[in-house]
């Protein structure tokens, strides 16, 4: 039986943080044997919120290195840049005729981005972001898309576009389903709901122990636990939310120590530093290897782009045939 296909992608914003790992990468890695995966470096998508393209290539390479270091296997799944497969742009153009402006303006994710990033004039490309995303997914006929909750409305738009195309021209595309991750979000070091590079509140997958220690020192904890022996409330503490992920075997002990006042925040943060560092250590080591073998990284990208291109070409021909474009 054919494996179901997954299209998963990220905008290349350079080195990844532990929030990317917990919210997406970990899930991708666990799915790579069970499904047929295509991993997209969504470099065109960067332009929706930042017109400066100077660092897109380098950021793509940095992100690819983190994917590889974290455990994605390029022999199993192609990894490729959106901008190198011209069929993404062609399918996006066709799909843009199928999506109404009204529908795109109702998309809550774009509304949130406009609010969070204080964007005053939304570009045509930004509004149409989910249309390009639909092209990204459907070009490879993805059955499933691993996403965080905030991306679910986009997948709904993809499903609507697939349905509309199939009804209008004939069956070509599946209607993909979102595949939500179990541990979808890690809060930022400043207590913000989201770890985000633009907010400067991240721990990178490439941070060493000393850097993590410095960053965690400033992390917000329970404001009522002022002195070391004050009883604390782990449920309101950011550091505890990191412990839940990175200190699973000690979590009861940490919780009890915090509540009773036996554990102080300084020691608790040191424990957290140590556990995050141990978790990252093998990723850091692999990253070092790839940084020293950049030709290998570039070959992986070329191979992924060749493999993706073959699939994209077949789909676009099918689309053209159904539309009688020749």
* Residues in touch with ligand SF4 (CB under 6 A): 221-222, 225, 232, 234, 237, 239-240, 258, 263, 265, 268-269
Structure tokens at 73: 């296997």
| Minimum CB–partner distance for residue 214 and ligand SF4 (Å) | 16
| Minimum CB–partner distance for residue 19 and ligand SF4 (Å) | 19
Distance CA 6, CA 10 (A): 13
Structure tokens at 168: 């209008």
| Minimum CB–partner distance for residue 245 and ligand SF4 (Å) | 13
Of 125 and 264, CB closest to ligand SF4: 264
Please state whether beta strands 144-147 and 79-81 pair in parallel, antiparallel, or not at all (unpaired).
unpaired
Structure tokens at 54: 């100077």
Whether 206 and 66 have beta carbons less than 8 Å apart is answered as: yes
Q: Would you tell me how many other CB atoms lie within 10 Å of the CB of residue 300?
A: 21
Structure tokens at 176: 């993909």
Whether 110 and 127 have beta carbons less than 8 Å apart is answered as: yes
Structure tokens at 292: 């020293």
| Minimum CB–partner distance for residue 258 and ligand SF4 (Å) | 3
Of 237 and 297, CB closest to ligand SF4: 237
Q: Which residues are paired to 7 by β-bridges? A: 38
CA torsion 129-131-137-140 (nearest 10°) is -130
Of 123 and 214, CB closest to ligand SF4: 214
Q: In what helix (H) or strand (E) does residue 59 lie, and over which residues does it extend?
A: helix 56-70
Whether 2 and 137 have beta carbons less than 8 Å apart is answered as: no
Of 192 and 303, CB closest to ligand SF4: 192
Chain-centroid distance, C-alpha 58: 17
| Minimum CB–partner distance for residue 73 and ligand SF4 (Å) | 36
| Minimum CB–partner distance for residue 273 and ligand SF4 (Å) | 11
| Minimum CB–partner distance for residue 259 and ligand SF4 (Å) | 8
Of 224 and 294, CB closest to ligand SF4: 224
DSSP 204: B
> How many residues appear in the chain?
326
| Minimum CB–partner distance for residue 283 and ligand SF4 (Å) | 24
Of 92 and 269, CB closest to ligand SF4: 269
Structure tokens at 308: 């993706």
Of 161 and 239, CB closest to ligand SF4: 239
| Minimum CB–partner distance for residue 221 and ligand SF4 (Å) | 4
Of 39 and 269, CB closest to ligand SF4: 269
Distance CA 185, CA 112 (A): 16
Beta strands in the chain (DSSP E): 5-10, 36-41, 79-81, 144-147, 177-180
Of 268 and 276, CB closest to ligand SF4: 268
Q: Which residues are paired to 9 by β-bridges? A: 40
């Amino acid at each position: 039986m054919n494996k179901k296909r997954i299209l998963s992608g990220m905008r290349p914003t350079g080195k990844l943080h532990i929030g990317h790992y917990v919210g997406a990468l970990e899930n991708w890695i666990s799915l790579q044997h069970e499904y047929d995966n295509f991993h997209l470096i969504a470099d065109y998508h960067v332009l929706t919120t930042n017109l400066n393209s100077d660092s897109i290539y380098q950021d793509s390479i940095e992100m690819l290195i983190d994917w590889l270091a974290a455990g994605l296997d390029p022999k199993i799944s192609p990894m490729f840049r959106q901008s190198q497969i011209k069929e993404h742009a062609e399918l996006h153009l066709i799909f843009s005729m199928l999506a109404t402006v009204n529908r795109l303006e109702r998309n809550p994710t774009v509304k949130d981005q406009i609010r969070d990033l204080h964007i005053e004039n939304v570009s045509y490309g930004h509004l149409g972001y989910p249309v390009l995303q639909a092209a990204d997914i459907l070009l490879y006929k993805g059955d499933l898309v691993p996403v965080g909750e905030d991306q679910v409305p986009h997948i709904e738009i993809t499903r609507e576009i697939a349905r509309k195309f199939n009804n209008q021209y004939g069956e070509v595309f599946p209607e993909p389903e979102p595949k939500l991750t179990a541990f979808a979000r890690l809060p930022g070091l400043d207590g913000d709901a989201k770890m985000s590079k633009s907010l400067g509140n991240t721990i990178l997958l490439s941070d060493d122990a000393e850097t993590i220690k410095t960053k965690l020192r400033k992390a917000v904890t329970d404001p009522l636990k002022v002195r070391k022996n004050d009883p604390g409330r782990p449920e309101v503490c950011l550091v505890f939310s990191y412990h839940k992920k990175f200190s699973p075997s000690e979590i009861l002990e940490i919780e009890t120590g915090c509540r009773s006042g036996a554990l102080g925040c300084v020691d608790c943060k040191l424990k957290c530093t140590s556990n995050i560092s141990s978790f990252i250590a093998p990723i850091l080591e692999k990253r070092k290897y790839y940084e020293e073998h950049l030709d290998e990284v570039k070959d992986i990208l070329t191979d992924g782009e060749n493999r993706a291109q073959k699939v994209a070409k077949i789909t676009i021909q099918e689309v053209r045939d159904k539309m009688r474009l020749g």
